[in-house]
Amino acid sequence: MDLTLKDKIIIVTGGAKGIGEGIVKVLAAEGAIPVIVGRSEADNLKCADAVKASGGRAGQVVAELTDPKACEKAVAEVTKQYGRIDGLVNNAGVNDGVGLENGTYEQFMASLHKNVVHYYLMAHYALPELKKSKGPIVNITSKTADTGQGNTSAYAASNGGRNALTREWAVELLKYGIRVNAIVVAECWTPLYENWIKTLADPEAKLKEIQSKIPLENRMTTAEEIANMAAFLLSERSSHTTGQLIYVDGGYVHLDRALANA
């Protein structure tokens, strides 16, 4: 299926690693020009160069997304370089473990800036260009807003906010023909996830335990599987889909856990 993404300029925040990298590579394979926005120029360039080595196109802009001015400047730089913006993927963030019992006000607010404030800012500053292109927005969110996790109040609150903003923006932007959807991620294998597993006493046993609870095929979701859905939601093939929270999780959130070992 042709996703009609050829030559589309699509911002991907946190696009250098993990799920963001997966999205960048799938978009490039579809002929789009993903523009990575992230704090590390070295990481950004590494991903962009890998895309180019595979015959695709990709750009990058360095920005510390917790800085509101940096968000504004990043959008301005993409517009300056490419003349337009055809889509936005809000992806950057981190499950930083700011809990209720042991967290602080300062840590909580800092986590909100890492995980949800820049979602608003990037969409806000990109909106004038998105209105011109009728460019869609895709927000990457986490199961923590639905299931809780423990000891991650700020991240869970951020994901609740991401989900709510998805629905809110879908309503507000109807008049411009801009679609807004979210992909809810549960257990997805990324470098950050791997690093977390390695901190545990028995990483292999813990990984097997987690995988056993994922109903479909008892395995982790891949970044490419998230990316495939993102590409579809950014494409004209999903032209009447908006305001949706789509779970790409092997049934983890909604299916009966008893099915996992059936």
- The residues assigned a catalytic role are 155
- DSSP assigned state of 220: P
Percent helix / strand / coil, the chain, rounded to 5: 50, 15, 35
Using alpha carbons only, what angle is made at residue 135 by residues 134 and 136, rounded to the nearest 5 degrees? 115
C-alpha 188/C-alpha 195 separation (Å) is 13
CA distance 192 to 118: 20
Backbone dihedral region of 98: left (phi > 0), alpha (psi from -120 to 50 degrees) or beta?
A: beta
CA separation for the pair 107, 96 (Å, rounded): 9
